[in-house]
Amino acid sequence: MNSTTTPPSTTAPDGTAPSVERRTIDHIPHDERHGRARDIFTVWFGSNIMLLTIITGALATTVFGLPFWAGALAVIAGNLVGGVVMALHAAQGPQMGVPQMLQTRAQFGSLGSLLVVVLVVFMYLGFFASNAVLGGKAFAEVTGLPDNWAIFIIGAISVVVTMIGYKLIHSMAALLSVVAGLALLLAFVWMLAVNGLPTDTWHSSGFTWAGFMATFSAAALWQIAYAPYVSDYTRYLPRDTGVKTAFWATYAGCVLGSVLPMLLGVLIGAALPSADTLDGMGTLTHGISTGLFLVFAVGISVTNGMNLYCGALSTITVGQNIFPRWRAQAVSRAVIAVVLFAIAMLPALLSADDFLANYANFLSLLLCVLIPWTAVNLVDYYLLRHGEYDIDSLFRRDGGVYGRFNWVAVACYVLGILVQIPFLSTTLWTGPIAKDLGGVDISWIVGLAVICPLYYVLMTTRNSTIPVAAELSSESVA
């Protein structure tokens, strides 16, 4: 790695990281790597125990009308399957030492990657807005503040988390693993053993394959949507962390941290299917609901800091393409975080009254644009280049050995979106094939099945040898 792409060290003289992270998208050299596999587990376990995860589980029994047993099965299966796709991306962080969306330049080219990175920024903003709405409503429930002010405060806390950066996010997620984990366990005990549930909670009617697949897809997407995040939170880990270690620590933390709160949501929806999910949780946990809402509201602000942090890194990635000499550090990340926060507040405040329907549509459309990217990225990383990349080329405006555009990747990405459209089933659009399948949405499965082999064949046909890393410097590979 050339010194021109590396700003001053983020480590203090005593070898510890300072309170504010100075690095943004630049490569993390070997002497600044730190952390262990358990840090990967807690950052994903703790950050997933939040209100939005509960709401996602509740979609099964409220929006999609499934009985508890079917909703629980769909949630578990979706997380297990989607988690595989997501965790495969996590190994790229320790290996390459750069954020996930910067690495996308190696597949799409320095300019071609902008198509994906810009869409991913909108994804971060969508999740930020969704979290802000739920966290704000919970905070308003506890404090008595108007919803809009509570939403603003929860979002503002997330801005502070983003400004401080990587180390604080990991530390707070570790704390959430304990505090929010215990709160979640207490919620289950209180609902089942203390207050009890309505007698028709365990009814078995209402199963449909369309509802089951919609829930399965929503749970799978919950995991797949983290694919653009995971390397951002493993890039400081030592390179010898290993692919298997990074995979299993991420998989276990994210899947377990998602399944448990989603099951709580499924249970709340089965017990009170006509009620607002937050109101239903308050009713079923009467006696401890104020404490639960407080924990989940404060916790969601930390989790939302992860959305804003990744959004800031992706925005810097776009900016550096336009201004290649720009070396963004902490101040740039802080300014961008404030701007993204202001942008995200608009949909957060506008969608608050019809949140569930808007959120379900957001998940379906998000899945459509993420699937072809994850297919291209994973095939390129594991099957074509086997994890070996020229890090210096990722910071060059001309793309170095990867060029400005990889038209094969761009074409596969666009085709991957188009091929899913006939299979989509949302309230906004139901494709003709989805209608023939009774409303069952298998679009993301089709997208993966088509684009993975297509990208591999086209790339290997176009090039007798796939350009991997040029001779990497010892700093890049140490």
- 18 found inside a domain: no
pLDDT in tens, 55-69: 889 999 998 899 999
CA dihedral of 98, 100, 103, 108, whole degrees rounded to 10? -170
User: Does residue 16 carry a pLDDT above 80?
Assistant: no
- 411 found inside a domain: no
Query: What angle is formed at CA 403 by the lines to CA 398 and CA 408, rounded to 5 degrees?
Result: 145
Q: Which helix (H) or strand (E) holds 222?
A: helix 209-224
pLDDT level of residue 414 (50, 70, 90 thresholds)? very high
Query: 16-20, 78-82, 212-216, 265-269: lowest mean pLDDT where?
Result: 16-20
Give the pair of three-digit tokens for residue 22: 């100075």
Q: Which pLDDT belongs to residue 471?
A: 40
Residues in the chain, total: 478
Query: What angle is formed at CA 356 by the lines to CA 354 and CA 357, rounded to 5 degrees?
Result: 75
pLDDT level of residue 475 (50, 70, 90 thresholds)? very low
Residue 239 CB contacts under 8 Å (≥ 6 apart), including other chains: 30, 33, 94, 95, 97, 477, 478
Between CA 234 and CA 95 the distance in angstroms is 9
Q: Which pLDDT belongs to residue 8?
A: 38
The closest of 424, 433, 399 to 111, measured between CA atoms, is 399
Q: Spell out the alpha helix ranges (H) of 355-442.
A: 355-378, 407-420, 432-436
Give the pair of three-digit tokens for residue 118: 């810009």
Q: What is the pTM of this model?
A: 0.85
Task: Kindly state the percentage of the chain with pLDDT values over 70.
Answer: 90
Q: Which pLDDT belongs to residue 465?
A: 53
- 244 found inside a domain: yes
User: Does residue 478 carry a pLDDT above 80?
Assistant: no
- 85 found inside a domain: yes
> Are 389 and 468 a contacting pair, CB within 8 Å?
yes
First CA to last CA distance, the chain: 11
What is the tally of structural domains in the chain?
Answer: 1
Across the range 271-289, mean pLDDT stands at 91
pLDDT level of residue 140 (50, 70, 90 thresholds)? confident
Between CA 131 and CA 154 the distance in angstroms is 9
pLDDT level of residue 437 (50, 70, 90 thresholds)? confident
- Residue 58, amino acid: A
Q: Which pLDDT belongs to residue 358?
A: 64
Phi, psi dihedrals of residue 430, rounded to the nearest 5°: -125, 115
Query: 7-11, 170-174, 421-425: lowest mean pLDDT where?
Result: 7-11
Q: Which pLDDT belongs to residue 30?
A: 86
CATH of the domain at 69: 1.10.4160.10
Q: Which pLDDT belongs to residue 287?
A: 92
Which is higher by pLDDT, 327 or 15? 327
Q: Which pLDDT belongs to residue 35?
A: 80
Domain coverage including residue 226: 30-354
The closest of 240, 266, 189, 227 to 44, measured between CA atoms, is 227
Between CA 47 and CA 56 the distance in angstroms is 15
Q: Which pLDDT belongs to residue 416?
A: 95
* Mean pLDDT taken over the chain: 85
Q: Which pLDDT belongs to residue 462?
A: 77
- Residue 408, amino acid: V
- 419 found inside a domain: no
> Are 231 and 93 a contacting pair, CB within 8 Å?
yes
How far, in Å, are 162, 335, 371 from residue 21 at the CA level?
9, 14, 31
- 381 found inside a domain: no
Q: Which pLDDT belongs to residue 67?
A: 95
Q: Which pLDDT belongs to residue 470?
A: 45
Dihedral over Cα of 39, 221, 268, 193: its sign: negative
Which is higher by pLDDT, 366 or 79? 79
Own/partner pairs, 340-343, CB within 8 angstroms, 24+ separation: 340/121, 340/124, 340/125, 340/128, 340/308, 340/311, 340/312, 340/315, 341/128, 341/155, 341/156, 341/158, 341/159, 341/308, 343/125
pLDDT level of residue 435 (50, 70, 90 thresholds)? confident
Residue 64 CB contacts under 8 Å (≥ 6 apart), including other chains: 71, 208, 210, 211, 212, 214, 215
- 2 found inside a domain: no
- 102 found inside a domain: yes
Q: Which helix (H) or strand (E) holds 146?
A: none
pLDDT in tens, 320-330: 888 877 888 88
Phi, psi dihedrals of residue 425, rounded to the nearest 5°: -140, 100
pLDDT in tens, 336-359: 999 999 998 887 777 666 655 566
Count the Cβ atoms, other than its own, within 10 Å of residue 51.
Answer: 26
Owner of token pair 């270690």: 245
Between CA 104 and CA 395 the distance in angstroms is 12
